[in-house]
Amino acid sequence: MFYCMKTTRFTIDLDRVFDERLSNLAERKHTSKAEIIKRALATYSFISGQTPDDSGKKVSITDEHDKVLKDIVIP
């Protein structure tokens, strides 16, 4: 059986620099700009849902030895 998922189309305005970053990321990941935006939204949604009040919480990027390379503050 074939299921068709309804989609919603959005139009967003990006400045040239942001569009270039998005294009470069999509190219490096071998996917579309839309897919990069979907992944970003899914990631933000997941992280935001991890604590009831996520204001000021941080996500850390670590190396293989758990040394923190970068902290990202979640607004």
pLDDT of res. 41? 93
pTM: 0.73
pLDDT of res. 35? 95
pLDDT of res. 69? 97
How much helix, strand and coil, in percent to the nearest 5, is found in the chain? 40, 15, 45
pLDDT of res. 1? 60
Residues 6+ apart with CB under 8 A from 42: none
- In this prediction, the residues of the chain whose per-residue pLDDT falls under 50 are none
pLDDT of res. 13? 95
Q: Which residue has the tokens 């503050």?
A: 73
pLDDT of res. 45? 86
Residue (of 41, 23, 42, 43) closest to 33 by Cα position: 23
Q: What is the C-alpha separation between 17 and 36, in angstroms, rounded?
A: 16
